[in-house]
């Protein structure tokens, strides 16, 4: 049973699409009043899981409780207490944004006067335009407004920021935090780690239909995997040698990258070996797991001409931490056994 402090719970949840098992025995617990992030690479089973919570598709096995009810039995009353942004939003192209929201308001229950307009304004959405003429990002804004406008107890948001520009993403995350402050629970799925890191209190990492890591955001090691690209004024052999002393590196590629045009050799005297080596450029790409300090210190023993540190995509992080087994079945698609939604 869910308790007052649990908004969503699943036990041994499974979903087969024909022979393909998209969700494999999932136990989730989302605390009431929290922002819970469900992250995972493409095909991990996020959408399948969220659709089961809403009774859009039914589980093959296991149980679900949402706001203390069983979604397969609770029907429309439960649905009205939830705001949902589906992964793929389907809107009627000829309706304006306002007509679309009026339609959703009839289904979802009471909407405070002026609230849709306020949300649309914050997101920069023109409600007078037909939704068929809107860009992907603006269509997504219609989806956000309809999910938030009736102040639901639970928000289930499937990849909600896809197509949004960074400023709108920030506004969206502000809406999520405000909803939590007002007492709502938010279940947010994404394949973008940084988005979840900014917003979520707790996180479950899904890969191949199972949870491979969970906990509070700061305890997750995923964020500690970074991709580094650097150009150093040093010969490749020297770079290889200095990287040899740095722990937790993988996918290291070191390649000569021509000469540095700005490193002029003095003509009045014979160049020293130091001056000779400083002319050679070497490019490095690598993945570092954990502390970045030893790597930065090692690179800084040469003249660093360029440096970029990037967040790898989630698939790379999951692979780096949990091995290929964590994602290999997630990317298997069983197209031969497509199943109708219900």
Give the interface with ligand ATP as residue ranges (CB under 6 A): 17, 20, 22, 40, 42-48, 87, 191, 332-334, 338-339
Contacts of 252 (CB under 8 A, 6+ apart): 243, 284, 285, 286
The three state secondary structure string of the chain is CCCCCEEEEEEEEEEEECCEEEEEEEEEEEECCCEEEEECCCCCCHHHHHHHHCCCCCCCEEEEEECCECHHHHCHHHHHCEEEECCCCCCCCCCEHHHHHHHHHHHHCCCCCCHHHHHHHHHCCCCCCEHHHCCHHHHHHHHHHHHHCCCCCEEEEECCCCCCCHHHHHHHHHHHHHHHHCCCEEEEEECCHHHHHHHCCEEEEEECCEEEEEEEHHHCHHHHEEEEEEEEECCHHHHHHHHCCCCCEEEEEEEEEEECCCCCCCCCCCCCHHHHHHCEEEEEEEEEECCCHHHHHHHCCCEEEEEEEECCCHHHHHHHHHCCHHHHHHHCCCHHHCCCCC
Q: At what angle do helices 166-181 and 136-148 cross, to 10 degrees?
A: 10
Min CB(196)–ligand ATP separation in Å: 13
Min CB(45)–ligand ATP separation in Å: 4
Min CB(165)–ligand ATP separation in Å: 20
Nearer to ligand ATP, 102 or 313 (CB): 313
Nearer to ligand ATP, 13 or 239 (CB): 13
Nearer to ligand ATP, 84 or 108 (CB): 84
CB 13 within 8 A of CB 52: yes
Min CB(58)–ligand ATP separation in Å: 12
Nearer to ligand ATP, 32 or 48 (CB): 48
Min CB(110)–ligand ATP separation in Å: 31
Min CB(320)–ligand ATP separation in Å: 19
Nearer to ligand ATP, 22 or 175 (CB): 22
Side-chain-side CA neighbours of residue 145 (13 Å) = 31
Nearer to ligand ATP, 191 or 227 (CB): 191
Nearer to ligand ATP, 37 or 235 (CB): 37
Min CB(183)–ligand ATP separation in Å: 28
Nearer to ligand ATP, 40 or 235 (CB): 40
Nearer to ligand ATP, 113 or 342 (CB): 342
- C-alpha torsion sign, points 119, 7, 188, 133: negative
């Amino acid at each position: 049973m869910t308790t007052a402090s649990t908004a969503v719970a699943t036990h041994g949840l499974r979903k087969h699409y024909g022979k393909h098992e998209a969700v494999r025995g999932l136990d989730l617990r989302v605390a009431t009043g929290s922002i819970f992030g469900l992250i995972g690479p493409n095909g991990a089973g996020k959408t399948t899981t969220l659709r089961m919570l809403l009774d859009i598709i039914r589980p093959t096995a296991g149980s679900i409780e949402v706001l203390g009810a069983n979604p397969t039995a609770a029907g429309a009353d439960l649905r009205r207490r939830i705001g949902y942004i589906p992964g793929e939003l389907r809107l009627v192209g000829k309706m304006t944004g306002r007509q679309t929201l009026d339609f959703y308001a009839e289904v979802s229950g009471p909407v405070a006067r002026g609230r849709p307009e306020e949300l649309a304004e914050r997101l920069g959405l023109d409600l007078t335009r037909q939704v068929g003429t809107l860009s992907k990002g603006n269509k997504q804004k219609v989806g956000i407004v309809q999910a938030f406008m009736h102040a639901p107890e639970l928000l289930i948001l499937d990849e909600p920021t896809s197509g949004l520009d960074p400023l709108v993403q920030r506004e969206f995350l502000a809406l999520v935090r405000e909803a939590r402050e007002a007492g709502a629970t938010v279940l947010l799925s994404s394949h973008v780690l940084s988005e979840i890191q900014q917003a979520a209190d707790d996180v479950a990492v899904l890969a191949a239909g199972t949870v491979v890591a969970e906990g509070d955001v700061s305890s997750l090691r995923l964020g500690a995997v970074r991709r580094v690209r650097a150009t150093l004024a040093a010969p490749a052999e020297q770079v290889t040698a200095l990287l040899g002393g740095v722990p937790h590196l993988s996918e290291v590629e070191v390649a000569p990258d021509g000469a540095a045009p700005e490193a002029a050799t003095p003509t009045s005297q014979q160049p020293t070996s130091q001056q000779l080596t400083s002319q050679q450029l070497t490019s490095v790409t690598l993945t570092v797991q954990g502390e970045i300090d030893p790597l930065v210190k090692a690179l800084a023993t040469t003249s660093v001409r360029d440096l970029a540190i990037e967040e790898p995509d989630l698939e790379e992080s999951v692979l780096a931490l949990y091995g290929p087994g964590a994602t290999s079945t997630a990317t298997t698609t069983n197209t031969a056994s497509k199943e109708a939604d219900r």
